[in-house]
A and B are shown apart, each in its own frame.
Chain A
Amino acid sequence: MKRTMKTLVVACGAVAAALGAGAGITPAQAQSKTITLCWAAWDPANALVELSKDFTAKSGIGMKFEFVPWTNYADRFLNELNSRGSLCDLIIGDSQWIGGAAENGQYVKLNDFFKKEGISMDDYMPATVVGYSEWPKNTPNYWALPAMGDAVGWTYRKDWFARPDVQKDFKAKYGREIGVPKTLDELKDIAQFFQGREIDGKKVYGASIYTERGSEGITMGVSNYLYDYGFKYDDPKKPYAMDGFVNSASAVKGLEAYKELYKCCTPPGASNSYMSEGLDAFKSGQVALQMNFFAFFPGLYRDPNVGGDKIGFFVNPAGPAGQATQLGGQGISVVSYSKNQAEALQYIKWFSGGDVQKKWWALGGYSCAKSVLNDPSFPNSAPFAKEFLQSMGMVVDFWAEPSYAQLLQAEQKRVHDYVVADKGTAQEALDGLVKDWKAIFKEEGKKF
Chain B
Amino acid sequence: MNELSASSRITYRAVMVRPDVARRIRGLSDRTLAWLFITPTIVLLLAINIFPLLWTIYLSFTNYRANRSNVPTIWLGPDWYQSILTDPDIWAAMQVTAHFVIWTVVIETVLGFGLAYLIDKKFRGHGMWTTIILLPMMLSPAVVGNFWTFLYQPQIGLFNYVVAFFTGSAASSFQMLGDVTLSPWAIVIVDAWMWTPYVMLICLAGLRSIPDYIYEAAEVDRASKWRQFCSITLPMALPFIMLAVLFRGIENFKMFDMVNLLTGGGPGSTTEVASITLKRAAFESWRTGYSSAFAIILFVTVFGLANIYVKALNKVKSR
Chain A interfacial positions (CB closer than 8 Å to B): 74-75, 78-79, 81-84, 100, 103-105, 212-214, 267-272, 286, 402-403, 405-406, 409, 413, 416-418, 420-423
Given the known interface contacts A82-B66, A213-B264, A409-B280, the answer about A271 and B285 at a Cβ–Cβ threshold of 8 Å is: no
Given the known interface contacts A104-B68, A423-B268, the answer about A269 and B284 at a Cβ–Cβ threshold of 8 Å is: no
User: What are 6 inter-chain pairs, A to B, with CB distance below 8 A?
Assistant: A78-B286, A82-B66, A84-B69, A271-B175, A420-B267, A423-B180
Among B157, B175, B268, B270, find the residue whose CB has the most chain A CB atoms closer than 10 A. Answer: B268
> For chain B residues 259-273, which have a beta carbon within 8 Å of chain A?
260, 263-270
Interface of B, secondary structure class, is loop
Q: CB distance A421 to B66 under 8 Å?
A: no
Please name the residue on chain B nearest to A406 by beta carbon. B285
Taking A79-B283, A104-B68, A416-B268 as known contacts, 4 extra A-B pairs with beta carbons closer than 8 A to each other, sorted by chain A number, are: A213-B264, A269-B177, A272-B264, A405-B284
Q: CB distance B283 to A213 under 8 Å?
A: no
Report Cα–Cα, A269/B287, bound state, in Å. 33
Q: CB distance A421 to B270 under 8 Å?
A: yes
Q: CB distance A417 to B70 under 8 Å?
A: no
B154 CB within 8 Å of chain A: yes
What mask results when residues 166 to 182 of chain B are scored 1 for a CB within 8 Å of chain A, else 0?
A: 00000011010111100
Among B68, B70, B157, B266, find the residue whose CB has the most chain A CB atoms closer than 10 A. Answer: B266
Please name the residue on chain B nearest to A84 by beta carbon. B69
Report Cα–Cα, A189/B91, bound state, in Å. 41
Q: CB distance B153 to A271 under 8 Å?
A: no
Q: CB distance B284 to A272 under 8 Å?
A: no
The total of Cβ contacts below 8 Å across the A-B interface reads 93
Given the known interface contacts A100-B67, A104-B69, A105-B70, the answer about A213 and B284 at a Cβ–Cβ threshold of 8 Å is: no
Closest CB-CB distance, B114 to chain A, in whole Å? 32
Chain B interfacial positions (CB closer than 8 Å to A): 66-70, 152-155, 157, 172-173, 175, 177-180, 260, 263-270, 280, 283-287
Task: Determine the chain A residues whose CB is within 8 A of the CB of B172 once the complex forms.
Answer: 268-269
Task: Determine the chain B residues whose CB is within 8 A of the CB of A413 once the complex forms.
Answer: 268-269
Q: CB distance B269 to A417 under 8 Å?
A: yes
Q: CB distance B69 to A268 under 8 Å?
A: no
Q: CB distance B177 to A422 under 8 Å?
A: no
Please name the residue on chain A nearest to B268 by beta carbon. A421
Q: Which of B260, B266, B286 contacts A421 (CB 8 A)?
A: B266
Report Cα–Cα, A250/B89, bound state, in Å. 28
Q: CB distance B175 to A409 under 8 Å?
A: no
Q: CB distance A104 to B70 under 8 Å?
A: yes
Q: CB distance B175 to A268 under 8 Å?
A: yes
Among A78, A270, A272, find the residue whose CB has the most chain B CB atoms closer than 10 A. Answer: A272
Task: Determine the chain B residues whose CB is within 8 A of the CB of A82 once the complex forms.
Answer: 66-67, 286
Report Cα–Cα, A403/B173, bound state, in Å. 40
Closest CB-CB distance, B258 to chain A, in whole Å? 14
Closest CB-CB distance, A281 to chain B, in whole Å? 10
Report Cα–Cα, A73/B264, bound state, in Å. 16
